[in-house]
Amino acid sequence: MIRIENMVKTYGPVRALDGLSLNVEPGVVYGFLGPNGAGKTTSMRILSGLARPDSGRAWILDKEIGKPGSDVRSLIGVLPEEPAFYGWMTPREYLRDFVAPLYNIRGRVAARRTDELLEIVGLIDVANRRVGGFSRGMRQRMGLAQALVHRPPVLLLDEPVSALDPAGRKEVLDLIETLRGQTTILLSTHLLADVERVCDVVGIIDKGCLIVQARRDDLLSSYVTPLFEIESEDGFGHWLEWVEKQAFVTNVTVANHTARVLVKDVHKAQKPLLESLARETLSVRRFELVHPSLEDVFLRLTKKEV
């Protein structure tokens, strides 16, 4: 569905893409993960026709990008990281009178689709308000709406929820989930939580190269380190000595009334940890199984590569 082969792109001395190759199967939500500057946005820009690679090739639905007579733009919906709009337009005007006609959707069909999308992204109440006064979150929702106007088979979403509040983030991720199966989605993000929530397949990119590509569950089980965070009001006392001796524990660190306990197996560790805390009658404020940040997974991966 989406294929990139050996793509290189340089900006002066910076090698933004350094032989990137990836393959996205039809109907999947592909999480394109990587830290800032890894090459995610450059890849998205090339796929959406805004930039050209120095070398390498890319295809969307078997149409080669950048090849004369092979315009993929009617097949894709693109949401850039910072969607921008004409401040003097209203969302309804932008979608109905500008975006929809560019895809040959006009008249009543355009009006119906516009209202449907504004309802979905939660902007129907401000449909006739000028975009100029919109918050970043509202612009991001509108960006998603404009990417969906023509029901594209492929969606390229660059950090689609990074500007949203938790409620907005949930709504957008729910929306992305509803598109699973019908639309192939390439979603770039630096948030592991988003990937865990909606992505079927994950590709991790760093320094313009794909480090790993795997199904989400496989990746999480391979690289995630089980970690418990325990916060106690009055320290941990003897409990620390006890926990360090346990066979299921690999490492313990304490900072600011919080103990971070790395374990080998979550299921084997959870019960004895809770029981020991109750036994010591510590004033536990928080006991949490922490998911590692992308940085944790990422550092482990790059370490492996080295």
Partner 1 sequence: MFRTLLAKEFREQWRTWKMIVFLAVFLITGIISPVLAKYTPEILKSIPNLPAGLADFIPAPTVADSVAQYLKNTAQFGILLIVLLTMGVMAQEKERGTAAMLLTKPVSRSAVVLTKWLTGMTIVLAGLLVDGLACLAYTVVLFEPLPFGAFWTMNMLLLVYLCVYLTMALLASTLARSQAIAAAGGFGGLVVLLVLGSIPRVSDYMPGQLVTWGSSLVLKGDSTAWPALGVAAGIIVLALAIACLCFEREEI
Q: Of the listed pieces 83-91, 177-185, 238-246, 283-291, which binds partner 1 according to CB under 8 A?
A: 83-91
**Least distance CB 50 / partner 1 (angstroms):** 5
Q: What is the DSSP letter of 188?
A: E
Nearer to partner 1 by Cβ, of 74 and 222: the residue is 74
Q: Using the rule CB under 8 A, is 184 a contact of partner 1?
A: no
Angle subtended by helix axes 136-148 and 166-179, to nearest 10: 10
**Least distance CB 56 / partner 1 (angstroms):** 16
Q: Report residue 224 as tokens.
A: 């995630």
Helix segments in 39-180, DSSP class H: 40-47, 91-92, 100-102, 107-120, 136-148, 166-179
209-268 residues near partner 1, rule: CB under 8 A:
none
Q: Report residue 150 as tokens.
A: 């023509």
Best CA proximity match to 39, nearest among 192, 176, 211, 173: 211
Find out whether 211 and 231 touch, Cβ atoms under 8 Å: no
Nearer to partner 1 by Cβ, of 99 and 118: the residue is 99
Nearer to partner 1 by Cβ, of 27 and 66: the residue is 66
Q: Using the rule CB under 8 A, is 10 a contact of partner 1?
A: no
**Least distance CB 52 / partner 1 (angstroms):** 7
Q: Classify 185 in phi/psi space as left (phi over 0), alpha (psi -120 to 50) or beta.
A: beta
Among 3, 73, 291, 300, binds partner 1 (CB under 8 A): 73
Nearer to partner 1 by Cβ, of 84 and 247: the residue is 84
Nearer to partner 1 by Cβ, of 48 and 232: the residue is 48
- Which residues does 289 contact at the CB level (< 8 Å), separation at least 6? 226, 227, 228, 266, 270
Q: Classify 244 in phi/psi space as left (phi over 0), alpha (psi -120 to 50) or beta.
A: alpha
Among 14, 25, 67, 102, binds partner 1 (CB under 8 A): 102
**Least distance CB 40 / partner 1 (angstroms):** 15
Among 30, 32, 59, 85, binds partner 1 (CB under 8 A): 85
Give the x/- contact pattern for partner 1 in 33-72, rule: CB under 8 A: ------------x--xxxxx------------------x-
Give residue 225's Cα distance to chain centre.
20
**Least distance CB 168 / partner 1 (angstroms):** 20
Give the x/- contact pattern for partner 1 in 126-165, rule: CB under 8 A: -----------------x--x-------------------
What span, in angstroms and rounded, lies between the C-alpha atoms of 109 and 122? Answer: 20
Find out whether 246 and 259 touch, Cβ atoms under 8 Å: no
Find out whether 81 and 136 touch, Cβ atoms under 8 Å: no
Q: Using the rule CB under 8 A, is 103 a contact of partner 1?
A: yes
Find out whether 10 and 51 touch, Cβ atoms under 8 Å: no
Among 74, 135, 251, 302, binds partner 1 (CB under 8 A): 74
Q: Report residue 23 as tokens.
A: 């393959």
Among 62, 68, 69, 84, binds partner 1 (CB under 8 A): 84
Q: Classify 257 in phi/psi space as left (phi over 0), alpha (psi -120 to 50) or beta.
A: left
Binding site residues, partner 1, CB under 8 A: 45, 48-52, 71, 73-74, 76, 78, 80, 82-86, 88-89, 97-99, 101-103, 143, 146
